[in-house]
């Protein structure tokens, strides 16, 4: 069956692709399995050379990749360029990291014990549609660096950049069978990867709902899994914060990528003593977000990824919101920047909207801020705005989330671990920590007795 890929900003088809089924999935896993022994035997420094070459090819083809990503996801071209820049950085990072990721020697009686990091085998990489190339690279980089072979399954809506990355991997010199990409349905290709006896691990990014299925399916073969799932992060603004700076930054933290961001700070928690003032500043800043044609260099927010997703997002906004922005009068799955005053019990504050809708919620004091911030099943990221350094650290430590920013709202850096607490998943991507998720520790004892 063919798959029609749309541009969400025009609603027009941009590609027709053949979809893989169970048989093609089994063939890809077989190719990856066959390529594995030779690939794991390649010296780490030589694997690094190929990753470095891939990083350079991504840089050389950055504009083309950014345009593919922008047209397929509907994201503004300026943001797409930044994301492709990160893809190259990720490959450079793991090229540099892999031959520095060693084991240890441990003093024991009667000999020497040493630990080694061994690759896992064939790894299934299942990624979502919101940051397709970026999230694929977070998995490809450490998986390949550690000596695994991979089968990457991009999301149905956004497979194009993964296909181009595979071509670049071949051009870089990765041997046939090491990097495989399958376009197909999650319930068919994804499910088969999860259950396949020759797949050693599933690295999954996506919704908490599908994350549960991954965990269940993986139980049959005791597969390793890492899960990067949904979020409902808080942007906590204390009365002693630089309110202008916090308000200017807040729209970026929830409307970037049209809110289709697992790290979106979609709950804006504001201390009651400055609530009215901050809301005024936030409305002004939100009014300034430039929504429009993703190809326009100055656009800050594009459309949502699909008509169906727009319906889901719209279902969260009941009645007249506190603020609703404008959308272009042209085809495209547009949804306006929206601010809703809410309590933490409302649906808009409890469930992941995954669109440009922020719930603004008052709190009383530091203890209340921590309580409300943690009152969610998720625990991915969050921001704290205050001029009190000790408070910033106290609240950061007390927040049940994997990635916290103070007086900033970025979550992702190539060098630092990224991942969730609670139902936002487990395992860490990026930084040196990601290498642990793509290797097993082996302990070897060598007797020194004569
Ligand atoms: P999704 O869970 O619907 O799909 C993710 C991937 O899983 C897709 O490739 C899909 O085809 C596949 N899939 C679907 N059903 C499957 C099944 N039964 N078996 C195996 N695979 C299956 O998520 P989405 O809508 O593509 O992305 C949005 C979600 O991803 C949001 O919840 C968001 O928070 C989350 N996300 C998390 C992170 C993070 O790092 N924590 C990053 C980005 C997105």
User: Which DSSP string do the residues of 312-376 spell out, in sequence order?
Assistant: HHHTT--S--SEE----SSSS-----EEEE--TTSHHHHS---SSEEEEEEE-SHHHHHHHHH-S
Kindly list the distances between the CA atom of residue 218 and the CA atoms of 192, 200, 418, in Å, as whole numbers in the listed order: 10, 9, 22
CB atoms < 10 A from the CB of 403, how many?
26
Q: What separation in Å is there between the alpha carbon of 299 and the centre of ligand 1?
A: 26
CB 363 within 8 A of CB 269: yes
- Note the pLDDT tens digit of each residue in 108-165: 999 999 999 999 999 999 999 999 999 999 999 999 999 999 999 999 999 999 999 9
Confidence of residue 1 (pLDDT cuts 50, 70, 90): confident
Question: Given a cut of 90, is residue 354 above it in pLDDT?
Answer: yes
What's the gap in Å between 227 CA and the centre of ligand 1?
10
Give the pLDDT confidence of 38-92 residue by residue, as tens digits.
999 999 999 999 999 999 999 999 999 999 999 999 999 999 999 999 999 999 9
Please tell me what DSSP assigns to residue 420.
Answer: -
Which atom of ligand 1 is nearest to 230's Cα? Answer: 34
- CB of 52 closer than 8 Å to CB of 172: no
Distance 129 CA to ligand 1 centre (A): 7
pLDDT digits (tens, 9 = 90+) for 262-319: 999 999 999 999 999 999 999 999 999 999 999 999 999 999 999 999 999 999 999 9
Cα of 386 vs centre of ligand 1, distance in Å, is 34
In the chain, the percentage of residues whose pLDDT exceeds 70 is 100
Closest listed residue to residue 276, CA positions, set 178, 360, 156: 360
In this structure, are strands 234-237 and 381-385 parallel, antiparallel, or unpaired?
parallel
pLDDT in tens, 5-50: 999 999 999 999 999 999 999 999 999 999 999 999 999 999 999 9
- Tell me the Cα Rg of the chain: 23
The protein residue whose alpha carbon is closest to atom 9 in ligand 1 is: 155
Question: Which residue lies with its CA nearest to atom 40 of ligand 1?
Answer: 228
Give the span between the Cα atoms of 138 and 162, in whole angstroms.
Answer: 12
d(CA 267, CA 234): 5
Cα–Cα distances in Å, from 315 out to 72, 160, 344?
A: 24, 29, 17
* Res 450: pLDDT: 84
Please state, as a whole number, how many other Cβ atoms lie within 10 Å of the Cβ of residue 327: 17
Give the nearest ligand 1 atom to 418 CA.
Answer: 40
How far away, in angstroms, is 352 Cα from ligand 1 center? 13
**DSSP-derived secondary structure for 159-188:** -HHHHHHHHHHHHHTPPTTTEEE----III
Q: How confident is the model at residue 241 (pLDDT cuts 50, 70, 90)?
A: very high
Give the residue, out of 90, 130, 210, with the most ligand 1 atoms within 8 A of its beta carbon, to mutate for a pocket test: 210
Ligand 1 atom index nearest CA of 217: 19
Query: Taking CA 299 as the corner, what is the angle to CA 298 and CA 305, rounded to the nearest 5 degrees?
Result: 155
Q: Are strands 199-205 and 122-126 parallel, antiparallel or unpaired?
A: parallel
Q: What is the mean pLDDT of the chain?
A: 97
Take atom 35 of ligand 1 and give the residue whose Cα is closest. Answer: 206
Tokens of 330: 């042209």
Question: Largest alpha-carbon pair distance within the chain?
Answer: 84
Supply the pLDDT for residue 10: 98
Q: Cβ < 6 Å from ligand 1: which residues?
A: 126-131, 135, 153, 155-156, 186-187, 190-191, 194, 205-207, 210, 213, 228-231, 262, 352, 354, 380, 420, 424-425
The residue whose C-alpha atom lies closest to atom 12 belonging to ligand 1 is 186
Give strand pairing partners of 226: 203
Of 8, 19, 126, 128, the residue with max ligand 1 atoms within 8 A of its CB, to mutate for a pocket test, comes to: 128
Tell me what the mean pLDDT of segment 404-428 comes to: 97
* Mutation probe of ligand 1 site: the residue of 21, 181, 207, 431 with most atoms within 8 A of C-beta: 207
Q: How far is the CA of 130 from the centre of ligand 1 (A)?
A: 9
Active-site residue numbers?
A: 228, 262
In whole angstroms, give the CA distance from residue 80 to residue 67. Answer: 7
What does the DSSP 8-state code read for residue 126? E
Residue 355 CA to ligand 1 centre (angstroms): 15
């Amino acid at each position: 069956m063919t798959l029609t890929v749309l541009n969400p900003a025009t609603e027009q088809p941009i590609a027709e692709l053949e979809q893989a089924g169970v048989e093609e999935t089994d063939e890809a896993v077989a190719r990856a399995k066959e390529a594995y022994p030779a690939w794991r035997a390649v010296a780490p420094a030589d694997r690094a050379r190929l990753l470095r070459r891939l990083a350079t090819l991504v840089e050389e083809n950055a504009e083309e990749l950014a345009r593919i990503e922008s047209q397929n996801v509907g994201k503004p071209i300026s943001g797409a360029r930044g994301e492709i820049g990160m893809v190259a950085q990720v490959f450079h990072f793991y090229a540099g990291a892999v031959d520095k990721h060693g084991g240890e020697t441990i003093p024991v009686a009667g000999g020497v014990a040493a630990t080694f990091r061994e690759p896992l085998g064939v790894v299934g990489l299942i990624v979502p549609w919101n940051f397709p190339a970026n999230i694929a690279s977070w998995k490809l980089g450490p998986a390949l660096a550690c000596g695994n072979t991979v089968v990457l399954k991009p999301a149905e809506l956004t497979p194009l950049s993964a296909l181009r990355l595979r071509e670049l991997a071949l051009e870089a010199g990765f041997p046939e069978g090491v990097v495989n990409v399958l376009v197909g349905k999650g319930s068919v290709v994804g499910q088969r990867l999860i259950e396949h006896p020759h797949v050693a691990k599933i690295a999954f990014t996506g919704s908490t709902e599908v994350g549960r299925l991954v965990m269940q399916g993986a139980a049959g073969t005791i597969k390793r899994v890492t899960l990067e799932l949904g979020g409902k992060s808080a942007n906590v603004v204390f009365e002693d914060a630089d309110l202008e700076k916090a308000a200017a930054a807040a729209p970026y933290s929830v409307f970037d990528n049209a809110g289709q961001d697992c790290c979106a700070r979609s709950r804006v928690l504001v201390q009651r003593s400055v609530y009215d003032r901050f809301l005024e500043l936030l409305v002004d800043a939100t009014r300034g977000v430039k929504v429009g044609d993703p190809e326009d260099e100055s656009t800050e927010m594009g459309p949502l990824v699909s008509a169906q997703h727009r319906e889901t997002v719209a279902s969260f906004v009941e009645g007249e919101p506190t603020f609703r922005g404008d959308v272009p009068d042209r085809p495209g799955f547009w949804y306006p920047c929206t601010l809703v005053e809410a309590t933490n019990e409302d649906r808009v504050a409890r469930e992941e909207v995954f669109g440009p809708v922020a719930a603004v919620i008052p709190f009383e004091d530091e203890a209340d801020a921590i309580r409300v911030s943690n009152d969610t099943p998720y625990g991915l990221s969050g921001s704290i705005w205050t001029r009190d350094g000790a408070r910033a650290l106290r609240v950061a430590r007390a927040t049940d989330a994997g990635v916290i920013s103070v007086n900033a709202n970025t979550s992702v850096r190539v060098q630092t671990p990224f991942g969730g607490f609670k139902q936002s998943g487990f395992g860490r991507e990026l930084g040196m920590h990601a290498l642990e998720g793509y290797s097993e520790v082996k302990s070897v004892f060598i007797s020194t007795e004569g």
